[in-house]
Copies of this chain bind each other. A is one copy, B any other.
Amino acid sequence: MPRPQLDADEIRNSIMETAEELIRQRGAVDFSVSEIATACGMSQSNLYRYFESKEAFYEAMAGRWFEELNTLMEETIASELPAKEKMFAFFANRLAIKRARFEDDPKLFESYMEIGHQHFEVVRGYIDLADHYLAVIVAEAMAEGHFEDMEIDHTVSLINLMVQPFCNPDIMMNMWPTSTDDNLRIVLDTIFIGLKGKSPVKLDVAPDLRIAS
């Protein structure tokens, strides 16, 4: 019976659109299920037919926010790009979407970020997923000879430290002028050249040793 399923999805989507309108009007208020039901012109018990709990509702809202970002991320991972280009696409594609969403409605964007903090248990899974995919790219980069003598997890953690303005929406909001694609490229070049496990300082100070060894 595919038809009723489709209708339920349509109703769920329209409930989430109404909720977004509420967020747009009132900011990151922690809505009760009854408030959302009222805004949708339906009874609370009817709303529970589509979202079985408040948690399920926030999970669906997070899913709606991350859907496009995750699809892009999965396409990047599946692509045949060399590791560095893949990593660039991994960050740049999602940066472009977030930037567009911010420019479309900065206040709504900020409210979504605040709601994300309030319901961080829902968001965490998506962050872990992104870390997992980044680890896949790092492993591919290592197979290509990059990040010599480094461990995957530590490399992921260091890259995350160095690219925060390109992936963390909280900080992004204050850094749009410098978190550009061009600067992302330079940052990744820097990481791919400079991030190595063994005494990089000495190599840098005495390049002759490098040739002799």
Residues of A within 8 A of B (CB): 84, 157-158, 160-166, 168, 170-171, 175, 178-179, 183, 186-187, 189-196, 200-201, 203-204, 211
With contacts A162-B187, A170-B171 known, is A204 near B178, CB below 8 A? Answer: no
Complex CA–CA separation, A152 to B165 (angstroms): 20
- A200 to B190, alpha carbons, bound, how many Å? 8
Tell me the dominant secondary structure on chain A's binding face: helix
Contacts A170-B171, A194-B195, A195-B194 given; indicate if A161 touches B179 (C-beta within 8 A): yes
Q: Complex formed: what's the CA distance from A191 to B163 in Å?
A: 12
How far, in whole Å, are A187 and B175 apart by their CA atoms in the complex?
A: 20
CA distance A122 to B37 in the complex (A): 44
Contacts of A160 in B (CB 8 A): 178
Contacts of A178 in B (CB 8 A): 157, 160-161
Contacts of A195 in B (CB 8 A): 186, 190, 194
Complex: chain B residue closest to A203, CB-CB: B193
Interchain residue pairs A-B with the least CB separation, the first 4: A194-B194, A190-B194, A193-B194, A162-B162
- Judge whether B190 and A162 touch: CB under 8 Å: yes
A191 touches B194 (CB 8 A): yes
The reply to whether A161 and B189 contact each other, CB–CB distance below 8 Å, is no
A187 vs B168: C-alpha distance when bound (angstroms)? 18
Residue of B nearest to A192 (CB): B204
Bound Cα distance A163, B194 (Å): 15
